[in-house]
Structure 1
C-alpha cells in the first residue's frame, strides 16, 4: 500500500494551471503568409546599396521571424507561405501563377532555413526558379489558402491570412477578376477566416486602400477605419520574442453566490504566471525517436504485476497503517461544490500587503453559465468602488480542492489617451492566510539612523527612482536557453548574444546619483569602507596562525607523554600536538601521519 500523505492533500491547486494549459494546447491557430511576387516587390529605393532589402525580402523575413517566435511561444500552431504572381505554379487546385512555397504545418528548423536561403538569394535567384507573371487571379490565391485550411489534418481554431502587397489596385483592367476577389473575401469572412492586409508603399507613392482593398476587407455594414501604419505592423512581425505564449482563456468558469438563491457566473483568469524551461524529452539513442514511458507496479514478495484496483492508500497513525478506499479518500478531500461564497465586506484599508500569500487571480462576469451575470457583477463592482470595500469570500477552486478565504479587490476600468483599455473592470482574487500561516519573527536590535543620515538616504533614493515595468525585462536564463537551442537547430556558428537587462546600469546610476551616493557613504559608513569587501578579523591571518601555534606548543608541554603512551591514549592527541612532542623529545620518525608519529613515540619509550 502506498503511503497517503495527508500533509500534501489539496496541493494539486498549484498545478491546476498546467493541467488546464495542456488541454488548451489542443486548439491550434493557423496563419498563412500570402505574398505578392510582382517585379515591383523586388525593387529597391537605392539600387547601389546591396544591404538594402526589397519588399519581398522584408515579407520573407517577417515570415521567418514569425516561425522562430512560434517555435517557442506556441509550437502547435500551423504556418504556411504562399506566393502569387509567379511564372511557375504549384498548388493542389492547379491554379495558374500560384505557388505554395510552404504548406500549412507546425514550425520547424527546415522551414526557417529555406526562408533564410531564399532571402539571401535575392531577385536573380527567385527569377530563375519561380519567375514573375501578372496574369494571376487574387481570387485563386485566396481560394488556395481556404483549401489549405480546409484540407489540414489538424483542427484549426483561429484561421488568418496575411496578405503582403504594394499594389493598391490589382486587376485594374478586369472588373470581373476584382469582383471575384471581393466575393471570395466575403466567403472567407463567413467561414471564419480573417484576412489582414499588410500594405507596403512604393518609393514616392502612397497606398490608396479605397481603390480596391476597402471593399475586400470591409463589408457594407462595417465602418471604414484607417489601416494601421504598415511600419508599426511590420515592426511587430519582425520583433524576436522568445517567450511562451499562454492562451487568453478562462482558467475555470464557476458561480459566485451572494446569498441563498442569488448566483452569478464568473470566469477566473491568471494575469501573471511564471515561465519555466520546457521539460526534457527522452529520445532513443539509435533512432532519435521520442520514447514513451510505461510503468508497472510489482508486489515485492511474489513479483506479481498489480492493477490499479489492487492498490490502496494508507496513513500511519499510532504505529498502525490505516488503509482507505478511493471513495473514502474522495470524501475526505471534498468540502463542497466549486465556487465563491460571499461571507461579507471589509474596508479596503484593512487588507495588508503581507496577506498576499500566493499569486492573485482575476474574475470577470460569464454570461454563458448564468444569464444576467454581467448586470449583477457590474452593480457589485460599482458599489464596492463607491464604498471602498473588499468582499471576503470562501473559495473552492475545483472538485476535491480545499477551501480558501479570498479577498475580492475591485478594479475600475481604465483607458489611455487613445481610449484604448489598459485595465479591465473586475475583481482581483487575493488569497488570504490562515492563522496557522503567520510566523513570529524575532528581530535583533539594530542602531537607528540619525536625522541627517535619513535625509541623505532620501536624497539618494529620490535621484535613483525610475519607472519600472516588468514587461521591459526578459528572463536572461530563458533567453540564453532558447538562443542555444535555436543555434543548434538552425546549425548556426554561435548563438545570438543575450543582453541581461537585470544587471544594474552603473554608468547611468553614477551619472544621476553619483554625488548623492558618495554623500550617503561619507555620512553613514566609516572612512575607507568598501562595499562588498570581506571583513577581516582582529589580528589578521598571521595573528591567528601565531596564536594557534602557541596554543599547540602549550598543549604539548602540559601532556605527560610517557604516561599517555603507557595508557594507550596517544590516539586522542591531535597531529599538531604529536608533531610538537616529537620535535621536543628529538624523536626520529619515518612519516608525518598520525599512526607513524604514534609508532615512533612508542618505540622511543620501548613500548
Structure 2
C-alpha cells in the first residue's frame, strides 16, 4: 500500500499517474528454434506454454497471447486458422516466425496449439521453419516489442517469456550483443517484462542473460534474484498459483462517524475463497448451451365455464407473500419484503471505542478485511481517516462499528483494529468480524472430564502422533474439487478423454502410515495398553480403508416385518432405517412418497392407524 499523503484528494491527480488493476495482459512466448533439435526439451517447452494458456483462459479469457520462434531458417506466415481479415499485415523479421499472432485467448487458439504439440513431427517443423546457423535474438526482441506496441487493445501488463538453451547467443563485446542490450533497455522503456525459462538445469546466467535481464528490469545485477530453471518450469506446469483474483477494491462504502460526519473508504479482501463458475446446461449431443426461462403460472376457473380450468402467467410484480395474523391473511409485495430486510444503509457506522486488550483472538470467526480511505466520493476523507487511525494507535483502542456490506443483508458487528507496516500489515484498519450468540458453541470434549491415563499410555499416544506426523505446506494440498472440476471442463471442451486422473492430495498416505505403524510395532502396544478388542495387528486395512479415505459403513440389524411394525407403532424412528420403512410401505400395497425419513415414518404410521 502506498504511503500516507495528507494532500491526497486536494490536488487533482493526472490520469497517467493513476494505477489501474483492470484490463488485458499481453504475453508473448519467444522460443529458440534451436530447442527443436532435442525433441524432449521441445516437447517440455510446448507443454509449459500449453499449461500457461489453459491457466490464462481460466483467469481472464480477454488476455492476449502470441507465440514467436526465432533462429528459424524460414519465416512462414501464421496458419489461416488463426488469422482473419484484420491480420492481413502480419509483422515479420529476418530469421523469425510469428507462429500465433497476438490474439485474445480462445478455444480454437488453444486447440490449435494442442494439436501442434501432440503431432508426430510438430506440423513438419523442420521443413516449414527450419533452424538457422546464426542468431536472430535482437530481431526477435524487436518483433515482440512491435507486436505489443501495435496491438489494438490497451494492455495492463506486457511480458515476454523466453525459452532457450543457449546461454550465450552472441560473443562478448560484439555489435550484436550491444544491440541486444539496447533492445533490453527499449523493453524497459515500453514497460515490457522479460522472463527467462531455460530448458536445461545447468545454465550459466552470468554468461549473458544476467546483464540482459538486469537491463530489461532496471535492477542491478547484484540485486537481481532469479529462480532455478527447474523451479521456473515447475511453476509453469503447476496450474494452481495462476488462479488468483484480480487486484481490485471489494466495496466502496461510507464510514459514518456521527450524524453529520462521514468519510468514504474502500474495503479490500485479504483472502478470497476459490469458487466454481456458475453451472451452464448443455445438450449432450452437440454441447450447445440451453437457455432456461422461469415463469409462474396459476390455475383458475374459467369465468364462462366453471368446470374448465385455465392457466394464467403471473408477473413478478403481481406476486405477493402472505402471513396469517389473528385469522387474517396479510399480503406483502416483493418491494415491501426488501424494505423490511434493510435494517441499516450500506456502510460503516461507529458505535464507540474499546481497548485493544479487550479484543480476544478467539473472537475472529472469519477472515479479516482491510479498510483504506478514498477520495472518490468525499474530499478530505484521507485526513479524517488518518486522524482516527493515529488516535487509535496512540490510545491503543479499536473502533466498534456495524458493517453492512450490501443491500438486503443484515449488519455485522466489527472491530476496526489499527495496524501499521511495522506490525506486518499495511497502514490502515483491519476489519475483524465479532461473534454473536449464534456463533458461540460448546465443544463436548472440553466440557466432559478428561479420562485418567497412565504415563505409559500418554507416552505411547505421543509416539503414535509423532510417527504419523509429516511436513505441511499449503502448496502441497490443491483443492481436489476444483482440480476435478477444471479437468472435467477441459475434457468436455477439447474432447480429450485420455487425460490423467486427478489425485486427491488431501487424503492420507495410508501406505506410509501402515509402514510406520508396523516398523515401530505401535498398534500392538497401543491395543495392549488400552485393551481394545478386534485388534488388527498386521497393519492391513479392512474394508473401506483401501486408500480412498472412507470408512466401511455398518448396517443396522435386520428386523422382521413384525418388529418393524412394532417400532413404527411405538414411534421409535431410530430403530428402523429408510429402506426398512420403504419395504414396509410397499408390503401394505402403498406407494412410498418422496421425502426425508421423518416424512416416510409418519406416512407409515398413518398406514397402521
* Cα distance, 1:459 vs structure 2: 5.1
1:323: which partner in 2?
Answer: 332
- Are 1:351 and 2:338 an aligned pair? no
- Are 1:522 and 2:528 an aligned pair? yes
1:70 aligned to 41, 56, 59, which one? Answer: 56
2:83: which partner in 1?
Answer: none
State whether residues 321 and 333 of structure 2, in contact with CA within 8 Å, keep that contact through their aligned partners in structure 1: yes
Partners of 2:432 and 2:497 lie apart in 1 by 48
State whether residues 161 and 194 of structure 1, in contact with CA within 8 Å, keep that contact through their aligned partners in structure 2: yes
Q: Structure 1 130/479 Cα, relative in aligned 2: closer, same or farther at 3 Å?
A: same
**Cα-to-partner distance string for 1:174-221 (whole Å, 9 max, x where unaligned):** 5895487356424522xxx434344667978554347862575045xx
**What is the root-mean-square deviation of aligned Cα atoms in Å?**
4.9
Q: Structure 1 124/215 Cα, relative in aligned 2: closer, same or farther at 3 Å?
A: same
**Cα-to-partner distance string for 1:487-543 (whole Å, 9 max, x where unaligned):** 454454533133222222334445556555544433334444579788899xx98xx
Partners of 2:178 and 2:471 lie apart in 1 by 57
* Cα distance, 1:168 vs structure 2: 4.3
Which structure: larger Rg? 1
Q: Structure 1 356/364 Cα, relative in aligned 2: closer, same or farther at 3 Å?
A: closer
- Are 1:362 and 2:369 an aligned pair? yes
Partners of 2:287 and 2:504 lie apart in 1 by 34
What secondary structure is seen at the aligned counterpart in 1 of 2:126?
A: helix
**Cα-to-partner distance string for 1:375-411 (whole Å, 9 max, x where unaligned):** 5586467558xx5x65432112134532111234667
1:450: which partner in 2?
Answer: 452
Partners of 1:67 and 1:31 lie apart in 2 by 10
**Cα-to-partner distance string for 1:47-104 (whole Å, 9 max, x where unaligned):** xxx7xx33x4443232112123334444443332122332224361344433221232
2:480: which partner in 1?
Answer: 476
Q: Structure 1 203/271 Cα, relative in aligned 2: closer, same or farther at 3 Å?
A: closer
The count of corresponding residues between Structure 1 and Structure 2 is 496
2:306: which partner in 1?
Answer: none
TM-score by length of 1: 0.65
**Cα-to-partner distance string for 1:128-168 (whole Å, 9 max, x where unaligned):** 1112344747356544554357445x664333222334354
Instruction: Write the mapping of 1:7-406 to structure 2, written as runs, cut at 5 A.
Output: 27-37=23-33, 39=34, 41-43=35-37, 53-54=40-41, 56-86=42-72, 87-90=74-77, 92-103=90-101, 104-108=103-107, 111=110, 114-115=113-114, 117-118=116-117, 121=120, 125-133=124-132, 134=134, 136=136, 138=138, 141-144=141-144, 146-147=146-147, 150-152=150-152, 156-165=155-164, 166=166, 168=168, 172-174=174-176, 177-178=179-180, 181-182=183-184, 184-189=186-191, 193-198=192-197, 206-209=205-208, 213=212, 216-219=215-218, 223-224=220-221, 225-231=223-229, 232-241=231-240, 244-256=243-255, 261=261, 265-276=265-276, 278-283=277-282, 288-295=287-294, 310-311=317-318, 313-318=320-325, 319-324=328-333, 326=335, 329-330=338-339, 333=342, 335-339=344-348, 341=350, 343-348=352-357, 351=360, 353=362, 355=363, 359-366=366-373, 369=376, 370-372=381-383, 379=390, 382=393, 391-406=399-414
State whether residues 343 and 411 of structure 2, in contact with CA within 8 Å, keep that contact through their aligned partners in structure 1: no
Please list every run of 5 or more consecutive structure 1 residues that lacks an aligned counterpart in the other structure. Answer: 1-23, 45-49, 416-420, 552-574, 576-607
State whether residues 145 and 161 of structure 1, in contact with CA within 8 Å, keep that contact through their aligned partners in structure 2: no
Partners of 2:398 and 2:422 lie apart in 1 by 19
* Cα distance, 1:483 vs structure 2: 2.9
Partners of 1:444 and 1:315 lie apart in 2 by 45
Q: Structure 1 331/455 Cα, relative in aligned 2: closer, same or farther at 3 Å?
A: same
Q: Structure 1 290/78 Cα, relative in aligned 2: closer, same or farther at 3 Å?
A: farther
What secondary structure is seen at the aligned counterpart in 2 of 1:371?
A: helix
Partners of 2:533 and 2:177 lie apart in 1 by 87
Q: Structure 1 261/346 Cα, relative in aligned 2: closer, same or farther at 3 Å?
A: same
**Cα-to-partner distance string for 1:201-250 (whole Å, 9 max, x where unaligned):** 7978554347862575045xx54432513513232112243984322333
1:498 aligned to 483, 491, 502, which one? Answer: 502
Q: Structure 1 475/314 Cα, relative in aligned 2: closer, same or farther at 3 Å?
A: same
Q: Structure 1 145/174 Cα, relative in aligned 2: closer, same or farther at 3 Å?
A: closer
Partners of 2:290 and 2:54 lie apart in 1 by 26
State whether residues 257 and 339 of structure 1, in contact with CA within 8 Å, keep that contact through their aligned partners in structure 2: yes
**Cα-to-partner distance string for 1:544-584 (whole Å, 9 max, x where unaligned):** 98x98xx9xxxxxxxxxxxxxxxxxxxxxxx9xxxxxxxxx
**Cα-to-partner distance string for 1:423-463 (whole Å, 9 max, x where unaligned):** 66765534334346667899999785113155654554455
Partners of 1:227 and 1:122 lie apart in 2 by 37
Partners of 2:122 and 2:286 lie apart in 1 by 40
Partners of 1:296 and 1:439 lie apart in 2 by 42
Q: Structure 1 164/460 Cα, relative in aligned 2: closer, same or farther at 3 Å?
A: closer
Partners of 2:209 and 2:554 lie apart in 1 by 75
What secondary structure is seen at the aligned counterpart in 1 of 2:382?
A: coil
Partners of 1:300 and 1:244 lie apart in 2 by 49
Partners of 1:432 and 1:283 lie apart in 2 by 43
What secondary structure is seen at the aligned counterpart in 2 of 1:290?
A: coil
Partners of 1:25 and 1:315 lie apart in 2 by 47
* Cα distance, 1:269 vs structure 2: 0.5
State whether residues 364 and 432 of structure 2, in contact with CA within 8 Å, keep that contact through their aligned partners in structure 1: yes
TM-score by length of 2: 0.64
1:16: which partner in 2?
Answer: none
Q: Structure 1 146/194 Cα, relative in aligned 2: closer, same or farther at 3 Å?
A: farther
